Chain A
Amino acid sequence: MDREVTAHPDDRGQSEVVGEILAVAMVVIVVTTAGAYLLSDAASPDEETLAEIRLDVDEERVELTHLGGESIDTNDLELAMYVNGTRTGTAWADGTDLGATFDPGERWVYNRTIDSDATVRVTLADTSTGTLLVDQTVRPGDQR
């Protein structure tokens, strides 16, 4: 009787172990493949501010116009302006007060006299996503 009892389980041979290994292997393969695919794909487009900003510079002012896209929190906006290569120290707060967000259709104006043949570089970045929204170099004399 004992013999039979002890002998019986052995009748099933290696099937249980093989089953376990197979199940674990299958799940691991499926999960890693799917995970790798998802993670590689998900990493790229995430965290980017979609917005189109137009820069206009003339002899009297610098203008940034939001032509469409997302609203941007003005606390996250980092503005830098260079005249003939020298940074002016102008900040977002020096221009038009647009409130908490820079919304589509809004215009930011900073009044400042600039020589018509000066080179003006303006960069605007959204620090919350690390997106460079504007980086342009213009001369006030060249109209649009």
Chain B
Amino acid sequence: MSFRGDRRGVTVQVGAVLLLGILVLLLATYQTTVVPQQNERVEFQHSQAVQEDVLNLRGAMLETAERPGFRTVSIQMGTQYPERALFVNPPPPSGTIQTSDAGEMGVENVNATNAETRDYLYGTQNYATKHVSYSASYSVYQNAPRTAVQSGVVVNDFERGRSVALSEQPLVRGNQITLVAVEGNLSQSQVQALDVEPRSLSTSRTSTTVRSTGDGLNVTVPTTLSEDAWRSLLDDELDPAADPNNDRYVTSVTRTGDAVRIQLEANRTYRLRTALVGVGRGGEPPQPAYVTNVTERNTSLARGTPLVTEVRDHYNNPVDPTTYPDDVTVNVTEGRDLIAENRTTVDEDGRAQVTYTGGEGQVTLKVERLNGPESEVSFNVTERSAQGSDDGDGDTGATSQIRLRVDDLTQRRGNSPRFVVSYDTQNVNSSFERIEIDFQRTDGTQDQVRESQNQRGSFVFEPGNGQGDDYSITARLYYSDGQGEYVRDARTLIDTADAQNPSRNDDLSENDSPVLDTGSEISDQTNAQSNKVSYRFDYTVTTNNNFQKVTLGVLNLYGNGASRTRDIASADEPNAFVPDQGNMDGANTEYRTVILVYDSEGVVVDIFEWRDTADGQGSDSPP
């Protein structure tokens, strides 16, 4: 036997084993490097997707704060790794969503402008709230954030206390303050998707008007975001100089403990909206907290008209008694001889009403289950004859203390509404506090409030767009007593931005007001052939040493030609042209030409207007 033939040994087997070894090594390397990389990518993508789900949850929560009902938001709690034939995946990552106590959000240094509301809503109001947070247990992706809805802001929390905001803040927008508190218990950990249903517990359909005290209004909400991040979120609202002439109100932002304090300007009017949203199990609609008046408190009524009150919860929203086991009862505790009923119950809209049967005196209504001044509302009623003028706060009788006029100088084609709003007060005593002019587009997209300490004056409103829309202009006269201020009288005019004045303007002229002389004249100087509209104004004002300026207006009525106005401080101008420079097109279209005379307080006291087709012919003079 020879071993020579065996010299080649076991090369084939060795080679095979070596190759198999390499294969096993390759497989092992793949399992330890590539599989985790791919899985990390899957986890990262899931983390981004679930952050969007939390943003949707925040949107749904803010929606249920304003509209009753519930919304369903699906949260992709976990994810699945790709299927692998030869390799092994860790178990699929699961996510946890939970509510956690966050402390209280609140407002400080507020006073409701309505005296009955102020029995409850004054000083500091706090609302307990919770954060809703999501976190995932990934096997590879290590720095994954915890994503939370905190006081209406979606925040990503990372290690070492670093946080970034993913959404905007809903808290302060102009003079509107919105606080959405969260109640309920949620704690779920799973891989499958989970439906979260935020629901309204107290819906903020309207806002409550409040005023900040001299210390400035503070809004405090719990947060993990840094002061810097809040300043960045509130960038558009910051006004550190507290300039009263802009629509920015935030004077400072301070981080205190686990909360941020946003300070707003002192002695200004704000619209406060507060709501309660339920997430998860538990969470009850809040109980009644106070009652306020809907009918004016000092009023004269015709027999048979109702006195209306509204019962509200801690969140200043009308209660819905159908959510309670018992009715909410309101008793008449004073003035039973003036009222048909002795007691009544609150309807689904949170309102209770009793019927006035005539006579004069005080009527007090009290909510049965409440105590203290906030449980009562009082009316001083006098009887009004049935023929009396009945146009709400548009009452212009001798008892009315505030008068209002609106001069519409809208340039229709340029979509540039402009209103000169003049007001005057009379029979005002030393309780006078201030005048507020509330200028609103009736569709709710514009709301400007101006105020003044002067008992007579004017404002100009230029909303920037919205010609042809209806605007409601309300002047309110505020008095103050020992407890704070209240609305003594109010008057509202509705005007369409159509270059024509409303029909119910008051006459604000006084004995010493400037007067436009009858010899004044407007004449049409239009060149119809070259399509150049031009009017000549020849006017003289008897000033009575009480004159500021005149406004000359050439206003196209239907938006098919140019419009122009011109202010002149001189009381006597024989040859003032509009336009004084440049050209206006619109020959042969309808115009309203107008001369407004302002007294030294800026109030429009005399007006002459002439409607004309701009055809180069005609003239007119004051009667």
* Chain A residues proximal to chain B, CB less than 8 Å: 5, 9, 19-20, 23-24, 27-28, 30-31, 34-35, 38, 41-42, 45-46, 48, 50, 52, 54, 58, 63, 65-71, 103-107, 143-144
Please give, as numbers and ranges, the residues of chain B lying within 8 Å of A19 by CB-CB distance. Answer: 12
* Chain B residues proximal to chain A, CB less than 8 Å: 1, 5, 12-13, 15-16, 19-20, 22-23, 26-27, 30, 33-34, 37-38, 40-41, 44, 47-48, 51, 141, 143-145, 156-160, 162-164, 166, 168, 228-229, 232, 235-236
User: Are A30 and B40 within 8 A (Cβ)?
Assistant: no
Given contact pairs A34-B27, A105-B163, A67 touches B12 in the complex (Cβ within 8 A): no
Given contact pairs A38-B27, A103-B158, A69 touches B41 in the complex (Cβ within 8 A): no
Please give, as numbers and ranges, the residues of chain B lying within 8 Å of A34 by CB-CB distance. Answer: 23, 26-27
**C-alpha gap A48/B160 in the complex (Å):** 25
6 A-B pairs (CB sep. < 8 Å): A28-B19, A41-B30, A45-B34, A67-B145, A104-B145, A104-B162
Nearest 8 A/B pairs, CB to CB: A105-B162, A105-B158, A104-B158, A50-B44, A27-B19, A42-B34, A20-B12, A104-B143
Minimal Cβ-Cβ distance residue in A for B1: A5
User: Are B12 and A50 within 8 A (Cβ)?
Assistant: no
**C-alpha gap A29/B89 in the complex (Å):** 27
Please give, as numbers and ranges, the residues of chain B lying within 8 Å of A28 by CB-CB distance. Answer: 19
**C-alpha gap A96/B161 in the complex (Å):** 18
Main secondary structure, interface of A, reads: mixed
Main secondary structure, interface of B, reads: helix
User: Are B34 and A58 within 8 A (Cβ)?
Assistant: no
User: Are A103 and B40 within 8 A (Cβ)?
Assistant: no
User: Are B48 and A45 within 8 A (Cβ)?
Assistant: no
Please give, as numbers and ranges, the residues of chain B lying within 8 Å of A66 by CB-CB distance. Answer: 164
| Contact residue among B5, B23, B44, B168 (Cβ-Cβ distance under 8 Å from A30) | B23
User: Are B163 and A144 within 8 A (Cβ)?
Assistant: no
User: Are B143 and A70 within 8 A (Cβ)?
Assistant: yes
User: Are A144 and B168 within 8 A (Cβ)?
Assistant: yes
User: Are A68 and B158 within 8 A (Cβ)?
Assistant: yes
User: Are A27 and B15 within 8 A (Cβ)?
Assistant: yes
Given contact pairs A42-B34, A46-B34, A71-B143, A23 touches B16 in the complex (Cβ within 8 A): yes
**C-alpha gap A63/B26 in the complex (Å):** 44
Given contact pairs A50-B40, A103-B158, A68 touches B143 in the complex (Cβ within 8 A): yes
Please give, as numbers and ranges, the residues of chain B lying within 8 Å of A23 by CB-CB distance. Answer: 12-13, 16
Please give, as numbers and ranges, the residues of chain A lying within 8 Å of B228 by CB-CB distance. Answer: 107
